[in-house]
Chains A and B, each alone.
Chain A
Amino acid sequence: MQQAISSPLPVTGSPGRRSGGALADRVFESLCRGAGLFVLLLLGAIIVTLFVGGLPAFREFGAGFLWSTAWNPVEGREDYGALVPVLGTVVSSVLAILFAVPVAFGIAFFLTELAPEWLRQPIATAIELLAAIPSIIYGMWGLFVLVPFVQQYIQLTIGDALGAIPLVGFLFESRSFAGTSLFTAGLVLAIMILPFIAATMRDVFMQVPPVYKESAYALGATRWEVVRGVVIPYTRISVVGGVMLGLGRALGETMAVTFVIGNANRLPQSLFDPSTTIASIVAMEFPESLMGSLKQSSLLALGFLLFVISFIVLAASRYLLRPRLKT
């Protein structure tokens, strides 16, 4: 490419300009390459730092670190395990997906099929604005508005209605009445990831070639039949990719979750029990951890685990989103 551009230059430009231009080209090229490699290097350095920092914890507790529920920072009997934060992270994120995906689908369906033309842009903008709200705002709003609401209206109602179901009823029992729980965290996370999932869904729904939809309409299909029979099958993989993108964001969310999850290092037995997440426990405990201590090492090991989980989720979403977005 470069040769092709610089070779005509000797004929037209002055010699001084040409040599300067070639040098500048080379400098620019190496700068760009450096910038590209820098990202890779940075990512690698972060993984290595987290792993090396967490190594003492992995060595001390072995694989048991992954399924131990202990979190005991008391001097002399320190014992750390990752199960509670890992479980809290995964459960709150999955809850968020369960809450957010139906609503996001509704938004995308409305915006692409039902809404009158003049309404589409305002709603799309409003959704994007939701994504711009800082997470600390969601946290405060969650603590002052959502937590009392869940405590007074949702927790007891659901507990009474579903607590009696055999086998899974215990999931809805409430033993903690403060309103901060896995459920509330899932709710706040759902609102936070809603714009990402809704925007992705809307974009991929709009990519469906009109000729497919018009053919279906021509055959007498209703709007719902068109979406179910044409739009969803056509965009299925991209939709899953968008959901994974939302999941990746939910996994790493720190501030908003910390406010509403109750921060308890105990294994939750119900959705309305307080719990904790990896990001939240690291944020809470890191400032008081001494350098080189087992506690700090365990926190770094947790960070490494979160990195691995997020990496898997995001890599999966990239993989699923790629084929559709390329065309």
Chain B
Amino acid sequence: MQRRAFLLAATAATAGPLLASRTASAQAAQITGAGATFPRPVYERWGQAAREPLGIQLNYQSIGSGGGINQITNRTVDFGASDAPLSTDQLRQANLLQFPTVMGSVVPIVNLPGVQDNQLRLTPEVLVDLYLGRITRWNDPKLAELNRDVRLPNLPVAPVYRADASGTTFVFTTYLSRVSDAWKSGPGAATSVQWPSGQGARGNEGVSNTVRNTPGTIGYTENAYATVNRLVTTQLRNKSGNFIKPEMPAFLAAANTADWNTPNFAADLVDLNGADVWPIVSPTFILLPTNPAADKVDASRNTMRFFDWAFKNGDDAARRLEYIPLPDQVADAVRTTWRDVKAPGGQQIWSA
């Protein structure tokens, strides 16, 4: 009998804290998202910062845009994330709403002995030729003509690309197809393409490591990686004919030049016209169901509250991670579209 009483006491003692923590975590409502790897650092930073003021716990799984689209179509997560915008048809079929969160830029990186950061000048044509395998030596006359003040080594050109299908590759190949018909009709633009030359490495870190270790390589990564790892980036000539260094003012110029009045915010920031515009910039998107099930209404509202908070308070965090925050008027337009999200009863979930 004594033993039973002791057991009861022990159970109560262990269950007490458990129950207490259950209620504590129930106050922090959880929202779950899955998709693009590219914005993962900024979503995580926002998630940490928003937990206290909003009481929302973000669980973001960076499984790739394709996986994110699959999961939100099956409604196994509260929101999906994709680097490439979905078409209006795709969105309507899956009853999804699409909005951008931040922008990122892709930069070429090189490993050439004796060449400093942002010293090498590239034109779109030369970049395409390097990746098509048409320019095979770094002292090629086409490159030498652009870089009279740089001593280019006589090294074979080794292009490096992302081996895993990725949004970064999608943005980079979109740019290459935009500036070259040969690329457009050849490899084309997609999350992974059939590269005519060079070798693949896994992830941004794989590409940056390969480029760092191998003289004569050229690669492409998100700007955040190039900055954090102090990789040697290059200048690139934009559509207006100016050589631009990959730096924040040039990215912001692209964000402000872009036309955001496209359907579903599928703004095109690749190869824009503008004196100071960096030509390879792209937004990343969130996919939100317009018809959340009854038990998902809270999660849907919390997702919108989370991104509302991020648009208001998250710009600095994004900029510190080398992302480009969304212009304020775009964020306002996004909030307007949230009114289309309806609960099963037909009432709006987002009222602000």
Interface residues of A (CB under 8 A from B): 70-75, 77, 143-144, 147-148, 151, 176-180, 258-259, 262-266, 274, 276, 280, 283-285, 287-291
By a CB distance below 8 angstroms, the chain A residues around B195 are: 264-266
B64 touches A176 (CB 8 A): no
Q: Is the CB of A178 within 8 A of B210?
A: yes
The residue from B66, B158, B198, B200 contacting A287, defined by CB atoms under 8 A apart: B66
Assuming the contacts A151-B214, A289-B66, A290-B66, asked whether A284 and B199 have C-beta atoms less than 8 A apart, the reply is: no
> Is the beta-carbon distance between B194 and A71 smaller than 8 angstroms?
yes
* Cα-based distance from A176 to B161 in the complex (angstroms): 14
Do A74 and B193 touch (CB < 8 A)?
yes
Per-position contact with A for B156-197: 1 when CB-CB < 8 Å, else 0? 101010011110000000000000000000011111111110
Separation of A49 and B73 alpha carbons in the complex (Å): 21
State A268–B193 Cα separation when bound (angstroms): 17
CB contact under 8 A between A73 and B202, given known A178-B160, A287-B63: no
Asked whether, in the complex, the Cβ of B73 is within 8 Å of the Cβ of A291, the reply is yes
B300 on the interface (CB 8 Å rule)? no
Q: Is the CB of A72 within 8 A of B164?
A: no
The answer to whether B66 touches A288 (Cβ under 8 A) is: yes
Give every chain A residue within 8 A of B196 (Cβ-Cβ): 266
Q: Are A274 and B200 within 8 A (Cβ)?
A: yes
Give the distance to chain B from A144, nearest Cβ to Cβ, in Å. Answer: 8
CB-CB under 8 A from A284, the residues of chain B are 163-165, 192, 200, 202
**Minimum C-beta distance from B314 to chain A (A):** 26
B139-165 vs A, CB cutoff 8 Å, 1 = contact: the mask equals: 000000000000000001010100111
Knowing A73-B191, A77-B188, A177-B214 are in contact, say whether A264-B198 is a contact too (CB < 8 A).
yes
Residues of A within 8 A of B190 (CB): 73-75
Contact A285:B199 (CB < 8 A) given known A72-B188, A73-B191, A180-B210:
no
* A-B contact list, 22 entries, CB within 8 Å: A70-B194, A74-B187, A75-B190, A144-B209, A148-B213, A177-B156, A177-B216, A178-B158, A178-B217, A180-B201, A180-B210, A258-B202, A262-B200, A266-B195, A283-B164, A284-B164, A285-B164, A285-B165, A285-B192, A287-B63, A288-B164, A288-B166
Residues of A close to B223: CB separation below 8 A: none
Known: A77-B188, A143-B209, A285-B164. A72 touches B194 (CB 8 A): yes
